[in-house]
């Protein structure tokens, strides 16, 4: 899968490179599940996925390891982070390019 290799290469170059690759491929983060608390009652961060945004619908991308590395590289920790990143990607000059 070309996007996986492009994302892996971009992660070596940092956050801005990852945002550019995500924009080029029209891929945005989405919150897929919100865990309210763990066994100790502390809230946990939501889980994220990365989906293509195409005219014919969306499709989830990346394997678990790549997704985890993307979350760390992009510093996603909350639903607000996810929304800000989504807006950043969709407004990027490379969107759909």
Q: What are the pLDDT digits (tens) for 70-91?
A: 999 999 999 999 999 999 999 9
Which residues, in sequence order, are bridge partners of residue 27? 52
For residue 20, give the nearest of 31, 6, 33, 34 by alpha carbon: 6
Helix (H, G, I), strand (E, B) or coil at 20: helix
Residue 27 neighbours by CB distance under 10 Å: 22
- Rounded distance between C-alpha atoms, residue 46 and residue 19, angstroms: 20
Helix (H, G, I), strand (E, B) or coil at 21: helix
Taking 50 as the pLDDT cut, the residues of the chain under it are: none
pTM for the model: 0.83
């Amino acid at each position: 899968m070309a996007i996986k290799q492009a994302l892996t290469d971009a992660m070596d170059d940092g956050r801005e490179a990852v945002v550019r690759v995500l924009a080029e491929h029209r891929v945005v983060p989405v919150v897929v599940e919100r865990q309210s608390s763990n066994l100790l009652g502390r809230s946990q961060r939501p889980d994220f996925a990365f989906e293509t945004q195409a005219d014919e619908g969306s499709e989830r991308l990346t394997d678990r390891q790549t997704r985890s590395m993307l979350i760390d590289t992009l510093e996603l920790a909350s639903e607000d982070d996810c929304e800000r990143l989504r807006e950043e990607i969709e407004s990027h000059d490379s969107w759909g390019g």
